[in-house]
Amino acid sequence: MRHLKDFQFIEAVIRAGSIRKAAEDMNITASALNRRINRFEEDFGYEIFERLPRGVRLNPAGELMLHHIRAQRSDFVRLQSQVADLSGVRRGHVSIACSQALLPYFLPEQIARYRSEHPGVSFGVNVRDRLEAERELSTFASDIALVFEPRHLVDFEVTLSVAQQIYVVMRPDNPLAGQTELRLRDCLAHPHVAPSAQYGVRVLLDTAAKKTTYGRIRPLVESESFDFMRHYVIHENAISFQFPIGLDLSGAQGYVARPLSLRDVEPGNLLLGQLRGRTLPVASARFVQQLAQALQTPAG
Partner DNA sequence: CAAAAGCGGTGCATTTTTTGCATCGCATTC
Partner DNA sequence: GAATGCGATGCAAAAAATGCACCGCTTTTG
Per CB under 7 A, the segment of 16-24, 126-134, 177-185, 229-237 that binds DNA is 16-24
Question: CB of 242: closest distance to a copy of itself in angstroms?
Answer: 36
- Which residue in 208, 184, 95, 103 sits closest to 145, CA to CA? 95
Cα–Cα distance measured from residue 249 to residue 125, given in angstroms and rounded to the nearest whole number: 24
Cα–Cα distance measured from residue 19 to residue 201, given in angstroms and rounded to the nearest whole number: 45
Query: Is position 216 an interface residue for a copy of itself (rule: CB under 8 A)?
Result: no
Query: Is position 72 an interface residue for a copy of itself (rule: CB under 8 A)?
Result: yes
Per CB under 8 A, the segment of 77-85, 144-152, 178-186, 209-217 that binds a copy of itself is 77-85
CA distances (Å), 40 to each of 29, 263, 287, in order? Answer: 17, 61, 38
**Exactly one of 30, 55, 76, 190 binds a copy of itself (CB under 8 A); which one?**
76
DSSP alpha helix (H) spans, the chain: 5-16, 19-25, 30-44, 60-86, 106-117, 130-138, 184-189, 200-209, 226-235, 282-296
CB 2 within 8 A of CB 76: no
From residue 227 to residue 266, what is the string marking binding to a copy of itself with x (rule CB under 8 A)?
----------------------------------------
- Edge-to-edge strands, sheet with 256-259: 240-242, 167-170, 256-259
Query: Is position 75 an interface residue for a copy of itself (rule: CB under 8 A)?
Result: yes
Per CB under 8 A, the segment of 67-75, 100-108, 164-172, 189-197 that binds a copy of itself is 67-75
From residue 21 to residue 60, what is the string marking binding to DNA with x (rule CB under 7 A)?
x-----xxxxxx-xxxxxx-----------x-xxxx----
CA distances (Å), 209 to each of 128, 130, 184, in order? Answer: 26, 22, 8
Radius of gyration of the chain (CA): 24
CB 196 within 8 A of CB 223: yes
Query: Is position 27 an interface residue for a copy of itself (rule: CB under 8 A)?
Result: no
Question: CB of 120: closest distance to DNA in angstroms?
Answer: 28
Query: Is position 7 an interface residue for a copy of itself (rule: CB under 8 A)?
Result: yes
Q: Which residues bind a copy of itself (CB under 8 A)?
A: 1-7, 39-40, 43-46, 60-61, 64-65, 68, 71-72, 75-76, 79-80, 82-84, 86-87, 277-279
